[in-house]
Amino acid sequence: MFLLLQILFFLVGSGIGQQCQIAQKCVTDFSENDCWMAEQLVPNSHIYNCCPSCQQSPGEIPPTTGCNPPANCLPDGTYGPVQCKGDTFTGRCFCSNENGTRIFGQMWRADASQMTCACSRRRAELEATEKRSVTLHCTRTGDYEPLQCDNGMCWCAEPRTGQPTAGPVPEADMRQLPCYRSSLVGTQYLRQCESVVHAIATIQREQMEHGTSFLGNPVTFCDYDGSYGPFQIRNGIAYCTGRDGEILGSWQTVSSEMTGMNCNCARDTMLYFPERGMTVTENCQPNGNYVPNQNVGNVFYCVDSDGYPTTDFLDEWPPGNCMDTPTSKRNKLSLDAPYV
């Protein structure tokens, strides 16, 4: 609809205003009739604020979700694959999708200089766009494992980029690949958790074909490295679990109320911090998430879903008890650029 003519791409100073001034003409055939019911024609809102566009009416504009510094942002305004929080001692880097949502893969910040999250980002993209089960295997830090199989084919991959270094061959012939190691892979590519998911799916499919459905069937979730995910559902109860699928502590909730459950606090308390020789000092909710409002004696502060402070130390919790801390403030206070 829009055509911006004769824009001269030379240095004329800084700022959007200067860029717009060098546009000779903005041609558009847009009118109010081209906008949806909840939109209105807004002048100077498109292409360096030079051309009109249809935008949602005031009061209906959703909050900005784009990436903003000091988060690690890509040139197109999306979040970079690696996002880091905290200081060098207790800080960690997490893998992220383009919207800034944490996905599988993490590493202690002091050791994360080579972390790419390339595998985790790619697998998340495939699952979101192709709506299918993806069996790419990522390391615990979000990089590619050397041997990869998906859609019945296997190949060797460069860990940091995922670029093929050998193959592809049918999965039945994966032993012929130079990256195959029987001590690491065994006789089949799928890990125990993934095999359980496959078996459960087969049982459910057979039940549907016979017109039956059994209540209380377990639901198994796997992480991108093939280990068990942070929670599993058994008999209608969602439990926080370790990488081996074993229940962690007493963190649980009924499956109908598990929306937002991530078990980050439970896993940090039982797995990640002890592996580092450290102890989690924050409190967990009954479902294994971090309690948003934390305190040590008379010192109060808010934390994000990963347990990192989002406010300074306070004399009391802010209004809402940290439940409504603005996203922009959380990102500004808890996200730092990754080590590169």
Read off the pLDDT of each residue in 304-326 and give the average, rounded to a whole number.
88
Residue 9 pLDDT level (bands cut at 50, 70, 90): very low
For strands 231-234 and 147-150, give the pairing. unpaired
Out of 143-152, 216-225, 255-264, 307-316, least confident range: 216-225
Alpha-carbon gap, residue 71 to 308, rounded angstroms:
14
DSSP letters of 265-291? HHHIIIIIHHHTT----S-B-TTSSBP
DSSP letters of 23-48? --EEEE---GGGS-TTEEEEEEEETT
pLDDT of residue 333: 35
Across the strands, what pairs with 148? 155
Question: Integer distance in angstroms from the first to the last C-alpha of the chain?
Answer: 41
How confident is the model over 168-224, as pLDDT tens digits?
A: 999 999 999 999 998 888 888 999 999 998 887 776 677 777 677 665 668 899 999
How confident is the model over 102-160, as pLDDT tens digits?
A: 999 999 999 999 999 999 999 999 999 987 789 999 999 999 999 999 988 999 999 99
Percent of the residues in the chain that have a pLDDT greater than 70, as a whole number: 73
* Predicted structure pTM score: 0.73
What is the helix (H) or strand (E) element at residue 182, kind and residue range? Answer: helix 182-185
Three-class SS state of 184:
helix
> Nearest-CA neighbor of 243 among 112, 104, 130, 107?
104
Instruction: Give how far Cα 338 sits from Cα of 112, 123, 270, 307, Å.
Output: 8, 21, 26, 18
> Nearest-CA neighbor of 239 among 270, 213, 272, 276?
270
How confident is the model over 232-252, as pLDDT tens digits?
A: 999 999 999 999 999 999 999
The burial of 73, by beta-carbon neighbours within 10 Å (0-12 exposed, 13-18 middle, 19 or more buried), is given as middle
Strands annotated E in 1-157: 2-5, 25-28, 39-46, 51-56, 82-85, 92-96, 102-108, 147-150, 153-157
Alpha-carbon gap, residue 93 to 266, rounded angstroms:
18
Across the strands, what pairs with 222? 228
Exposure string of 231-241, with b = 16+ CB inside 10 Å and e = fewer, is bbbbeeebbbb
